[in-house]
Amino acid sequence: MRAKAKKPNRVKEVREHRLVCRVSDRELRILESFLAKHKVKNKGRWMRETLLSKVYKTMLINYPSLFDKQE
């Protein structure tokens, strides 16, 4: 019999804060078609990951440095 793989112990973060975003009918159709095409089942998780990955990448690009980059 095969032993079950142990999952790492992760601390669950409690999401207490709500963000609301309004979109137009056209934007909603675009989002819904994208989510259906890519078989995204959890819209909230997808939006959170998409938003935070963009913010994280922008923060890395704009991270202050001691010396300016020289071209």
Would you list the domain boundaries of the chain?
Answer: 25-61
Mean predicted confidence (pLDDT) in 3-29: 86
What does the radius of gyration of the chain's CA atoms come to, in whole angstroms? 19
pLDDT computed for residue 13 by the predictor = 83
- Residue 52's nearest CA partner among 9, 19, 25, 7 is 19
pTM: 0.65
How far is it, in rounded angstroms, from Cα 58 to Cα 10? 27
User: Mapping DSSP to helix (H, G, I), strand (E, B) and coil, where does residue 37 land?
Assistant: helix
The answer to whether residue 50 scores a pLDDT higher than 60 is yes
pLDDT computed for residue 15 by the predictor = 87
pLDDT computed for residue 70 by the predictor = 63
Q: Which residue has the higher pLDDT, 40 or 15?
A: 40
The answer to whether residue 42 scores a pLDDT higher than 90 is yes
Helix (H), strand (E) at residue 30? helix 25-37
Which two structure tokens, joined as six digits, stand for 60?
């890395």
